[in-house]
Amino acid sequence: MLTVRAILFWLVMFAATLIIAPLVVLSFPLPFHLRYATARNWARLNLWALRVICHIDYEVRGREHIPDQASIIFCKHQSTWETMALQAIFPPQVWVMKRELLRIPFFGWALAMLEPIAIDRSAGRQAVNQLVDQGKQRLAHGRWVVVFPEGTRVAPGSRGRYKIGGAVLAEQSGALVVPVAHNAGVYWPRHSFIKHPGTIQLVIGPPIDTQGKRAADILQQAEEWIESTVTQLGPAKPSA
């Protein structure tokens, strides 16, 4: 049944992409908030399909920690799930992502309408400068900025190297950093077709005040909170 459920989910996700992505592309003359509202329906539809078809739901703790002003989200990266869930949980946002994603037909074209910070990860300091310059612009326009500090998905129980770019943006912009931990990789593992029923736990931490702090200290504080919280969530066992 897990295989059947996974096939049905991917069919829904593929159909949703074929329908919603062109609508987002066609919305290019509209203001950002309308383009974003159209795209957000894709995430919400997929989260609904996960719950109904794959029996994967989620619980959020710490919503009271979401600030009123645009901030920077530092999120653990274990799965594809969090790229959808963050859209449903937080205010309108832009993502720091590898620029290759923009080349994917329909999906990537729609992403381009959402003002992402698309970087060349091999560009080193130039990529950091781009993240800072564009990130400050997005924050000034009221967009939240989503950063996956590890840069790529890691398996539950593993830790990737936390990269400094998002913390440099936080240092130079003075924006709050909101750390996010979860255990989505237990239920929707990276590189896995099969999805396991259960309830994902996502925890939003107290915002980190970045005023007067160095990027290295900001990154360390966020990493320590995220990793300790992920450990507390534990390797929850999916339902049968």
CATH number for 63: 3.40.1130.10
Has residue 23 been placed in a domain? Answer: no
Has residue 14 been placed in a domain? Answer: no
Has residue 9 been placed in a domain? Answer: no
Region for residue 142 given its phi and psi (left: phi exceeds 0; alpha: psi -120 to 50; beta: otherwise): left
Burial code (b: 16+ CB inside 10 Å, e: under 16) for 49-59 equals bbeebbbbebe
Q: Name the DSSP class of 164.
A: S
Q: How many domains does the chain have?
A: 1
Has residue 11 been placed in a domain? Answer: no
Region for residue 162 given its phi and psi (left: phi exceeds 0; alpha: psi -120 to 50; beta: otherwise): beta
pLDDT (tens place) for every residue of the chain, 240 residues total: 899 999 999 999 999 999 999 999 999 999 999 999 999 999 999 999 999 999 999 999 999 999 999 999 999 999 999 999 999 999 999 999 999 999 998 899 999 999 999 998 777 889 999 999 999 999 999 999 999 999 999 999 999 999 999 999 999 999 999 999 999 999 999 989 999 999 999 999 999 999 999 999 999 999 999 999 999 997 655 555
Range of the domain at 150: 56-233
pLDDT of residue 124: 81
Has residue 131 been placed in a domain? Answer: yes
Has residue 16 been placed in a domain? Answer: no
Has residue 41 been placed in a domain? Answer: no
3-state secondary structure of 195: coil
Has residue 29 been placed in a domain? Answer: no
∠184-176-99 over CA atoms, to 5°? Answer: 60
Q: What is the pTM of this model?
A: 0.94
